[in-house]
Structure 1
Amino acid sequence: MPRLPRLNLIDIPQHIVQVGHNNLPCFFDDEDYQFYLDSLRNAADQYRVDVHAYVLLPNMIQIIATPRVPEGIPSMMQSLGRRYVQFINHRYRRSGTLWAGRYKSSLIDSDAYLLTCYRYVESRPIYLGLADSMADYAWSSFQHHANLALSTVIKDHRLYMALGDTAAARADAYRELFRYRFDRRLLEYIAETIKLGQILGGDVFKDKIEQISNQRVRPLKRGRPRKSAEKKSVAKPAVKGHDKSSSGNQAVKTLCDASNESATDKHTTTLETGV
């Protein structure tokens, strides 16, 4: 299936994922994690991107962010990737690539899915067995949202701020969101949108994005295109013993309307390990 164009629209949040080359580790000790976070903060400030949530995993990063200027996120990710790879290669005396190609991203319908994406990103360490609780994992934004430790990387989204009038009230309301486990279908849906570069949102949101970007955001239907014209009439062959001059030598129409198969394949694929 052809990749849809990657959209970068001002004030529309994105879910960003970047995976290590061949799923190999990208972080090797605490200093690496801290250097990446410091670089993320600097790049986000430089290119005017608001980072709302993140998790750094041994072989992957996931970020929820909103660009405030055109091309803010591509510029941030390019600068961040280059700076971090140089740091790792120098520190460990290695060379070559660190990431598995370009990052993947998906626009988010914030009113419907933003806080769900927060939960998705920050719960990754639990699903991967890296920590017993999200509060124990130092390299995600959960501690910030749960009012356990302030992050200088995070700029809170209006929907998080609407959870309460004080930091404590917002943290209590946010922790309540984690009381129930994710529905498996929702997990797969979020993972699939990232893998395929699709939009996380309903038809109304997708219509809005198509109008803003003047680009198609839905994948094309699979299969052969529908035939738009009938085949030309074919002359009926003469039958032996009949009068060739009779008016029975008529044309026979052959209708070739193709069936309109509109069923859409449903994918249940998930991303690389850990997504």
Structure 2
Amino acid sequence: MPRVGRVILPNYPHHIVQRGHNRQAVFVEQEDYERYLSDLQELKDAFGVKVYAYCLMTNHVHLLLAPDESVAGLSQLMKTLSERMTRYRNRLEGRSGTLWECRFKSSVVQSDAYLLACSRYIELNPVRAKLVCHAAEYPWSSYTQHVGIASRWLDVDPCFDALGGSDEERHERYRGFLNQAASDGEAQLIREALQRGQLTGNARFVEEIERIAGVRIERRGQGRPRLTQEE
């Protein structure tokens, strides 16, 4: 069974990060963030990609995306988003050249165990960076949609639906889940899976993906995030 580089699979969520070239700032003014999100909202349906979570930081973006049967749609979406933002910034600054690193990083995510955990990891980026004290204070992430503060255009995964029987209950359960501190092991697993292009999931999930993709994927110690009735 051959070893694999980056794995992209249909109908599975993927945790994606793309950084500015040489870590340069990509978003400077409010309009920069608004433009990127407007493009993401427009293009996701055009390329058959579901958007479950996002966070736009100054020099990089985190996205939780799931392509449909045509896996090429995910790469096409990222390419088009990058090209549009590059043209916009170059025109604004009277320059030419690249804005982004040429290759985005991605990790296939185990839906039932890690989709909500990845959403939490993504939406807590501004808190970990000490830009805000709480995720609700940061306007450029999906958190406000997940808890009903902002109008929703995100796609809804069954994991989110399962949080409660009504929108209000789901919003409250998700708010509690995000406020609960993630374990160091969970955050490390998500971070390292993304950096190394591995899978975000448990051993059974790794075996499942190996069968589907026909490749050997490196294993590592893995745990499962908890979501109890009290969280």
Percent of aligned pairs with the same residue?
Answer: 35
* Letter of the 2:16 counterpart: I
**TM-score, reference length from structure 2:** 0.90
Larger radius of gyration: 1
Q: Which moved more, 1:183-192 or 1:8-17?
A: 183-192
CA offsets, 1:74-126, max 9 Å, x none? 11111111111111111121211111221000000111111000100000011
Aligned equivalent of 1:91: 92
| 1: CA distance, partners of 2:132 / 2:179 | 17
The structural deviation recorded for 1:182 is 2.1
Q: Unpaired runs of 5+ in structure 1?
A: 220-263, 267-275
Cα pair 2:55 2:62 within 8 Å, conserved:
yes
| 2: CA distance, partners of 1:24 / 1:117 | 25
1:8 to 2:16 alignment: no
**TM-score, reference length from structure 1:** 0.76
Aligned equivalent of 2:149: 148
The two structures, once aligned, show a CA RMSD in angstroms of 1.6
| 2: CA distance, partners of 1:37 / 1:179 | 25
Cα pair 1:4 1:197 within 8 Å, conserved:
no
Aligned equivalent of 2:182: 182
The structural deviation recorded for 1:175 is 0.6
Cα pair 1:39 1:84 within 8 Å, conserved:
no
Q: Unpaired runs of 5+ in structure 2?
A: 222-231
SS at match of 1:72: helix
Q: Which moved more, 1:44-53 or 1:210-219?
A: 210-219
Cα pair 1:47 1:69 within 8 Å, conserved:
no
| 1: CA distance, partners of 2:110 / 2:19 | 24
Runs of 4+ in 1 over 4 A off after TM superposition: none
The structural deviation recorded for 1:217 is 2.1
Work out which structure has the larger RCO, using CA pairs closer than 8 Å and 6 or more positions apart in sequence: 2
Aligned equivalent of 1:122: 123
| 2: CA distance, partners of 1:95 / 1:214 | 41
Structure with more helix by fraction: 2
The structural deviation recorded for 1:37 is 0.5
Aligned equivalent of 2:137: 136
Aligned equivalent of 1:53: 53
